[in-house]
Amino acid sequence: MSLTREAIVEHLQQILGSDQVLTDHHLLQQRSIDNFRKLQNIFGVYTMPLPAAVAVVNSTDEVARVLAFADEHGVNVVARTGGTATEGGLETPVENSIVVDGGQMNKIISIDEYNMQATAQCGVPLQVLEDAVRAVGLTTGHSPQSKPIASMGGLVATRSIGQFSTLYGGIEDMVVGCEVVFPGGQVSRIKNVPRRAAGPDIRHIVIGNEGALCFITEVTVKLFPYMPENNIFLGWTLKSMKTGFEVLREVMVAGYKPSVARLYDPEDGQLHFSRFAAADDCIVLFMTEGNAGISTATAEGIAEIVGRYPQCTPVDSQLIAEWFDDLVWGPDKVAREDERIRTTRNVNRTTEISADWSTINDIYEAVLPRIRREINGITLLGGHSSHSYINGTNMYFNYFYDLIDCEPQDENDKYYLPIISIICEETLRAGGSIVHHHGIGKARTPWVKAEYGSSYPMLEALKQAFDPNGIMNMGTIFPR
Ligand SMILES: Cc1cc2nc3c(=O)[nH]c(=O)nc-3n(C[C@H](O)[C@H](O)[C@H](O)COP(=O)(O)OP(=O)(O)OC[C@H]3O[C@@H](n4cnc5c(N)ncnc54)[C@H](O)[C@@H]3O)c2cc1C
């Protein structure tokens, strides 16, 4: 028989002490969702089952004891650090879940300048780690827009990626080792080595697990020299996304490694570049960094490639630098956006996918007209590519809509999910991936089997092996 809410709270209090077990009703409402249902928070209307408690953990041992208790009694556990999730990974889809909050595990354990790696607990916000390593002339190279709030545990758990990914890669290229706790309370540490060929790379069971396999308590990431004085910004306007993708491809195939390589379509571009771009302009832009010689040679190589396209008109690089300075989303910007939604009932959402160079433009061209045709109330629809690879790129669809005949709590069903469906359908049709970096969460779980195809049993076997009782973040990645 499942435990009552009161029994769960009482057990947690025995494990952690009363002050680490939070049961305030409004806090539980807020912890029942994330940005996937952000309108519930903005308008104060909550529909998800309430968790029994938020368990604030201060050590690996406490995480292990909470997970062992939850596993023994079949209680759903939702791991949490920064709380910036966008896809429902933090939702509590069943009554009386335990939200395990690692935000207080916020110590930087070491900055090893000689071996170029830093170790931090899961609750360290990336900005805090980045500021600490910059103080000694280094950088993590990781710069997701949510970095003032998003924390090391969540960043690894979601397979996050930052603005400088074309040079430094995604978090999967940065994680050296980590410590994790599995449902029964078993603690595993993956040691820090530059590389090993001792079987499969088990870091990848942890990276991207979204709290559905284990709780990440500690992470070691690589460090790089920080030389912002060598940054060079480049930008061009052009009229066609197809040409823009060709420019990006040529730069990547030529072997250049700018830290930023982006292509905006006209509607998305107007949100950032209306000072210099016409309403029908696309914008392709780059940033190069690193040692002075490398940064300059990279910028010259890119300029030479784009120069072969007479359709591209150069933009003053100072304008690109100014745009770049305003990219990060901290608490103030989030609060301003929430207030805008509250007062206008006009909602902004994004969905990111990836595909190879042959198909990315087809997906882009298939998705936009379908959304315009099938969804009422669209006020802005566009997108950009922000992470490129030698074999393809991502597309980050950006869309705004008015809530027409729709209560805020119904927004997911009437707008967001139908739009995600269109994007997933068109991406899968072209052979791309339905998630580039926000994670599957609960929003895209319905498509996970189609995403994996004949490799789905490999994914499913991980759940059976590491979470046989199915208590870790029910409904996230793995359909319930
Ligand atoms: C304004 C904004 C901008 C964003 N920009 C980017 C961006 O540029 N790049 C990008 O990749 N993402 C971006 N995101 C998405 C989000 O910030 C990332 O997914 C981030 O990695 C989440 O980290 P977090 O600490 O906030 O995790 P949370 O929101 O707390 O959790 C996210 C997921 O990870 C799991 N989780 C959290 N902590 C742990 C843990 N210790 N162990 C195991 N599982 C855990 C949770 O259960 C959940 O499924 C953005 C989001 C917002 C709101």
pLDDT along the chain (480 residues), means of 10: 93 98 98 96 96 98 98 98 97 98 98 98 98 98 96 98 97 98 97 97 98 98 97 98 98 98 98 95 98 98 98 96 86 92 96 98 98 96 98 98 93 95 98 98 97 98 98 97
E strands in 232-363? 232-238, 260-264, 282-288, 313-315, 346-356
Q: Please name the residue whose Cα sits nearest to atom 10 of ligand 1.
A: 160
Q: According to the model, what pLDDT value does residue 325 have?
A: 84
Euclidean distance between CA atoms 339 and 359, whole angstroms = 38
Q: Which atom of ligand 1 is nearest to the CA of 180?
A: 42
Q: According to the model, what pLDDT value does residue 328 have?
A: 80
Q: What is the pTM of this model?
A: 0.97
Looking only at the bridges linking them, the beta strands covering 187-190 and 108-112 are unpaired
Q: According to the model, what pLDDT value does residue 326 have?
A: 81
Q: Please name the residue whose Cα sits nearest to atom 44 of ligand 1.
A: 211
Q: Which atom of ligand 1 is nearest to the CA of 333?
A: 1
Query: Measured in angstroms, how far is the CA atom of residue 24 from the centroid of ligand 1?
Result: 24
Kindly state the tokens that stand for 390.
Answer: 């030698």
Query: Measured in angstroms, how far is the CA atom of residue 53 from the centroid of ligand 1?
Result: 21
Which of 63, 84, 213, 217 to probe ligand 1 with, by most ligand atoms within 8 A of CB? Answer: 84
Coarse DSSP helix, strand, coil percentages of the chain, rounded to the nearest 5 percent:
40, 20, 40
In this structure, are residues 210 and 473 in contact, taking their beta carbons and an 8 Å threshold? yes
Query: Measured in angstroms, how far is the CA atom of residue 125 from the centroid of ligand 1?
Result: 11
Query: Measured in angstroms, how far is the CA atom of residue 226 from the centroid of ligand 1?
Result: 25
Which of 56, 63, 80 to probe ligand 1 with, by most ligand atoms within 8 A of CB? Answer: 80
In this structure, are residues 352 and 435 in contact, taking their beta carbons and an 8 Å threshold? yes
Kindly state the tokens that stand for 217.
Answer: 């308590």
Query: Measured in angstroms, how far is the CA atom of residue 36 from the centroid of ligand 1?
Result: 12
Q: According to the model, what pLDDT value does residue 1 have?
A: 62
In this structure, are residues 37 and 86 in contact, taking their beta carbons and an 8 Å threshold? no
Phi, psi of 441 (to 5 degrees): 55, -140
Euclidean distance between CA atoms 264 and 423, whole angstroms = 18
Ligand 1 pocket: which residues have CB below 6 Å?
34-35, 78-86, 89-90, 102, 122, 144-146, 150-151, 153-155, 157-158, 160-162, 210-211, 215-216, 329, 437-439, 473, 476
Query: Measured in angstroms, how far is the CA atom of residue 84 from the centroid of ligand 1?
Result: 5
Query: Measured in angstroms, how far is the CA atom of residue 90 from the centroid of ligand 1?
Result: 9
3-state DSSP assignment of residue 298: helix
Q: Which atom of ligand 1 is nearest to the CA of 102?
A: 41
Residue matched to tokens 């599957």: 440
Residue matched to tokens 């306007």: 237
Q: Please name the residue whose Cα sits nearest to atom 27 of ligand 1.
A: 154
